[in-house]
């Protein structure tokens, strides 16, 4: 059910990108109890001119190692589960070479009927 998008500057190697995609999936399985095979993760690589960000926001310093993760998921999870997800992603990204301060996460919650996984059918509706 979740759809994750990872946006970053060009230059990360394949092993790092793989660790990030697997890390998001594993964190979603752990924190949000996502089913096996519910794995939809996209990587968007950008040129420097197309990747704009604040060098500092809320006291957190960012640099060209910034990785933005946007997850669309069903609504209804508690704040505690969301915090657990953010921590799990940051932990796994740190292992992939991303500094924790450079892990930016945005969660978008939607109703279940807003998904079609194929065949033009709203499987969750």
Mean pLDDT of 31-48: 97
Dihedral sign for Cα 51, 28, 61, 14, please. negative
Q: What is the pLDDT of residues 74-123, one digit of tens each?
A: 999 999 999 999 999 999 999 999 999 999 999 999 999 999 999 999 99
Element (H, E) at 90: helix 79-95
Residue reference for tokens 């640099």: 63
Domain ranges of the chain: 3-114
* Residues belonging to the chain: 125
User: Which option is the CATH number for 3-114: 3.40.50.300, 3.40.50.150, 3.30.429.10, 3.90.180.10?
Assistant: 3.30.429.10
pLDDT band at 1 (very low <50, low <70, confident <90, very high): confident
87, exposed or middle or buried, with CB in 10 Å at 0-12, 13-18, 19+?
middle
Token pair 């950008």: residue? 46
End-to-end alpha carbon distance in the chain: 13
Dihedral sign for Cα atoms in the order 24, 26, 31, 35: positive
Nearest-5° Cα angle at 29, 46 to 109 = 65
Asked whether the predicted pLDDT for residue 27 surpasses 90, the reply is yes
Mean pLDDT, residues 17-34? 98
């Amino acid at each position: 059910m979740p759809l994750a998008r990872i946006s970053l500057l060009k230059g990360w190697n394949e092993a790092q990108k793989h660790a990030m995609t697997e890390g998001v999936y594993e964190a979603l399985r752990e924190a949000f109890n996502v089913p096996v095979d519910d794995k939809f993760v996209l990587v968007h690589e950008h040129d420097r001119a197309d990747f704009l960000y604040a060098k500092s926001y809320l006291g957190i310093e960012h640099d060209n190692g910034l990785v933005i993760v946007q997850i669309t998921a069903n609504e209804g999870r508690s704040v505690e589960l969301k915090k657990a997800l953010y921590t799990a992603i940051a932990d796994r990204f740190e292992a992939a070479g991303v500094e924790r301060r450079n892990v930016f996460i945005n969660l978008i919650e939607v109703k279940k009927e807003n998904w079609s996984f194929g065949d033009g059918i709203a499987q969750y509706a």
